[in-house]
Amino acid sequence: MQQAIPCNSGRTWFAPTAASNGVVHVTVKDRPSVDGPSTSSSSSDGGGGGGGGGGMRRLVAENPVLVVGRRGCCMCHVVKRLLLGLGVNPAVFEVAEDAEAALVDELAEIAGGSGVRQQVLFPAVFIGGRLVGGIDRLMAVHISGDLVPILKEAGALWL
Amino acid sequence: MSSTSAHFATSRRMAVYQPNHQISMWGNSFKADISQNTGASTIVEADTKLDNRLEDIPRESLGPSKRYDQEANKPADKVVRRLAQNREAARKSRLRKKAYVQQLESSRIKLAQLEQELERARQQGVYIGGHLGDATLGLPGTVNSGVAAFEMEYGHWVEEQNRQTRELRAALQAHVSDIELHMLVESGMSHYDDLFRIKAIAAKSDVFYLMSGMWKTAVERFFLWIGGFRPSELLKVLTSQLDPLTEQQLVAVHNLQLSSQQAEYALSQGMDRLQQTIVETLASDLLGASGAANCMGQMANAMGELEALVSFVNQADHLRQQALQQMYKILTTRQAARALLALGDYFQRLRALSSLWAARPREPA
């Protein structure tokens, strides 16, 4: 099981076991009963983009569900738990304090592409390549019953 | 008529004593120098002093004489006069009591603030074991004027909620139109929004106070979850009261309850994780090998971690609000009115239970 290592820069690529500075890992939380292969973003997924933008964009695009959060943040844990409880295997990207600001900009850019300008707050949840929002928004969407349909649409859930 | 005058003497004594008693209790404005001797002449003297102070008692009709024991031949007048004096004394007493209570309330708030200042001055690692009674006065810790303000606002909130509940009940019983019901429901919903708003402010002020539930009654506290009610529990209460619901509504309500439970679970897990984090932070290097600087660093970290509690309370309140609003969407106007009534009633009963419990007769020690 890979450990999340805080990223010091925006660069992203996938090296399953490397733990050197500046390397970012995307962790996969195991959920024993779920075994759809494409829901888990495995680190073997491929090559690195050169720039941070490319890497992040790739992460967002390639994972049905992506949670971006601060390292050690308990709200991030809440988001993970909620998604896991629904049967989703979210990809998680954990960022260190100093890299936060740059990442926020990047994410805003990625999110803005879908036409809706949203403020990026951590933890940030992307579903099907689109920014759903922070935990507030996630809870609201969940309570109104819209979360599961969105997840299914993004291929993160089957029933 | 010795028996008659004896009778008058006794009741006169009583009439005199009660106002005296009340005066010495509530009033600083009266010099309570009226002795309690039982000699008849003393009583009459006291009566005289009393008469002089109770200025607004109409006495013109009763004649100038103040010597009661000389008027045994006019019993009716005396009775009337005494009753009037009693009424007057009682009225004044009530007014004084009201003023006194108001004074008490503001002193209470002042006292709470003073205690908090004192606490802050003495804090520095010394544990002050305050009594956690039902009053906030005994709470140690970083309570501040934000808390006092919240307590007051919450008190008003509860009063208003009780009033709205009564209004809803009356409206439903009177079978008012849906339009009127809709207005009542709207105010009910926005009243809950008010609650969450003042809680958010209080959370910034003192999140531990909010989490402690000391602002609620004891029984409500028993059901406390992250600084408030548990939404799924509330939904259970409501659905049991809302028959008949359509098939579609039943499904929607069931899903809402499920979603709420899932969200609650996630938040609880987050809270556990927060506890764990703080424990790890504080428990690292307990045997103190690394020195004071490290300890300070630890404390700083722990402080940062504690900040997350504010988010948790906010998220929990947000969940409560969302659950209520979703319920509102599912229900018809009439159903929503009944739901709000049921909620209001339920909370009132919880509070009443707390009072009963506090007042229950206990075995002598």
**Is residue B324 situated within a structural domain?**
yes
Number of domains in chain A: 1
Winning range, highest mean pLDDT, from A10-14, A35-39, B145-149, B210-214: B210-214
- B302/A contact by beta carbon, under 8 A: no
Range of the domain at A147: 56-154
Number of domains in chain B: 1
**Is residue B16 situated within a structural domain?**
no
* Torsion, CA B132, CA B136, CA B137, CA B139, rounded to 10: 50
Q: How many CB atoms lie within 10 A of CB B202?
A: 22
Give the CATH number, domain containing residue A124.
3.40.30.10
Rounded Cα distance between B200 and B194, Å, is: 10
User: What is the average per-residue pLDDT within B234-248?
Assistant: 89
Range of the domain at B222: 145-357
Whether pLDDT at A57 is above 90 = no
Interchain contact, B270 vs A145, CB within 8 Å: no
**Is residue B65 situated within a structural domain?**
no
Higher pLDDT, B71 or B363: B363
**Is residue B184 situated within a structural domain?**
yes
Interchain contact, A142 vs B262, CB within 8 Å: yes
- What is the residue-averaged pLDDT of chain B? 80
Q: Choose, out of B255, B256, B265, B267, the residue to mutate when testing the contact with A (most A CBs < 10 Å).
A: B267
Q: Choose, out of A81, A125, A138, the residue to mutate when testing the contact with B (most B CBs < 10 Å).
A: A81
Per-residue pLDDT tens for B255-313? 999 999 999 999 999 999 999 999 999 888 777 677 777 788 888 889 989 999 999 99
User: What is the average per-residue pLDDT within B94-101?
Assistant: 92
Q: How many CB atoms lie within 10 A of CB B149?
A: 15
Chain A residues with CB-CB distance to B321 below 8 A: none
Chain A residues with CB-CB distance to B265 below 8 A: 81-82, 85
Whether pLDDT at B73 is above 90 = no
Interchain contact, A75 vs B277, CB within 8 Å: no
**Is residue B193 situated within a structural domain?**
yes
- CB B323, CB B235: distance < 8 Å: yes
- Predicted confidence at residue B123, as pLDDT, reads 60
Structure tokens at B255: 């899903």
The A residues from 98 to 137 touching B (CB cutoff 8 Å) are 135-136
Reported ipTM: the value is 0.71
Nearest CB neighbour to A75, from listed B262, B270, B322: B270
**Is residue B87 situated within a structural domain?**
no
- Of the given ranges (A12-21, B21-30, B31-40, B298-307), which has the lowest mean pLDDT? A12-21
